[in-house]
Amino acid sequence: MKVTLKVWRQKNRNSSGSFKTYESPELNGNMSFLEMLDVVNEQLATRGEEPIAFDHDCREGICGTCSLVIDGKPHGPHKGIATCQTYMRSFKDGDEIVVEPFRAKAFPLIKDLVCDRKSFDRIQHAGGFITVRTGAAPDANSIPVPKPDADLAMDAAQCIGCGACVAACKNASAMLFVAAKISHLGLMPQGQPERYKRAKAMVDQMDEEGFGACTVTGSCEAVCPKEISLDFIARMNRDYGVALLRGDPKTIKGGGAG
């Protein structure tokens, strides 16, 4: 099979980009989408043209590095998988495939199909953790975690941080990502002491980064490679609401050990 690729090419974040069309060499349906790009890139490089830059790493759907909006859908045509798990047999001989980068103000473009998702890290810095020093932990079985809670937390925790939710959302909202993080920690008993503070801090940082707001369209859930549920957004909304009503904690004056 052969396909025609319409790919976004952009030299760097300061220059403007445009679509370029490439004819693929003969392909095999068992190639992954990224392997197809490898093959096209080898062809470009042999011709002396700079290869198409795209992000990828583990190529087994867990690291969250690969991105790409393929024919309008982040991570390609199938549900519940990442671009790296998309295979060429999902396309037909002669198809024209439009490949775009993830687009959002908070994901500035670096080059071609590569964007910078550090805003996700900064949201995590704001509160995506449980404060516990190494060595300060009690025995792991001293705090029982109800199985349904652990399972639900795991549903949220499996987020791979790829940013497809943002890419798919018509508002470029990061609510699903942030909700997954807040819900994971907020569901665990160990996460209770910082539950509301965490929700407040992470949502505020999300706003700070310039993501849009949620209009509950469900695109995020529909493209999420881990099929993370919108239920978690509701959970986050509850926690954030409590934090809003409570306001800032009382500040302690003075103190210190004698």
The residues in 94-113 that bind other proteins, with binding defined as CB under 8 A, are: 98, 100, 103-106, 110-111
Residue 24: which residues within 8 A CB-CB, separation 6 or more?
A: 2, 3, 4, 5, 36, 39, 40
Which residue type sits at 60? E
**Count of CA atoms in the C-beta half-sphere (13 A) of 52:** 28
Of 186-225, binders to other proteins (CB under 8 A) are 187-188, 190-191, 203-204, 206-207, 210-219, 221-223
Q: Angle, to 10 degrees, between the axis of helix 195-208 and the axis of helix 175-187?
A: 170
Which position among 1, 95, 124, 197 is part of the footprint of other proteins (CB under 8 A)? 124
The residue from 1, 9, 95, 130 that contacts other proteins (CB under 8 A) is 130
**Contact residue for other proteins among 245, 249, 252, 255 (CB under 8 A):** 245
The answer to whether the beta carbons of residues 176 and 230 sit under 8 Å apart is yes
The answer to whether residue 173 forms part of the interface with other proteins (CB under 8 A) is yes
Q: Are strands 73-74 and 69-70 parallel, antiparallel or unpaired?
A: antiparallel
Binding other proteins by CB under 8 A: which of 3, 5, 68, 153? 153
- Residues 7-26 binding other proteins (CB under 8 A) are 11-12, 19
Q: Enter the DSSP assignment of 138.
A: P
**Between 37 and 76, how does the x/- string for binding to other proteins read (CB under 8 A)?**
-xx--x--xx-xxxx-x-xxxxxx-xxxx---x-xxxx--
CB of 256 to other proteins, least distance (A): 16
143/130 Cα distance (integer angstroms): 15
Task: For residues 131 and 186, give the distance between their C-alpha atoms in angstroms, rounded to a whole number.
Answer: 13
Binding other proteins (rule: CB under 8 A), the pick from 120, 165, 176, 228 is: 120
For residue 252, give every residue at least 6 positions away whose Cβ sits within 8 Å of its Cβ, in sequence order, or none: none
Of 224-243, binders to other proteins (CB under 8 A) are 229-231, 233-241
Nearer to other proteins, 133 or 253 (CB): 133
Q: What whole-number distance in Å separates Cα of residue 160 and Cα of residue 43?
A: 31
Look at residues 115, 130, 254, 126 and name the one whose alpha carbon lies nearest to residue 190.
130
- Find the shortest distance in angstroms from Cβ 222 to other proteins: 3
Residue 224 CB, nearest distance to other proteins (Å)? 10
Q: What is the closest distance, in whole angstroms, from the C-beta atom of residue 114 to other proteins in the complex?
A: 7
C-beta of residue 205 within 8 angstroms of C-beta of residue 119: no
3, 33, 82, 85: which one binds other proteins (CB under 8 A): 85
* One of 1, 9, 95, 171 touching other proteins (CB under 8 A): 171
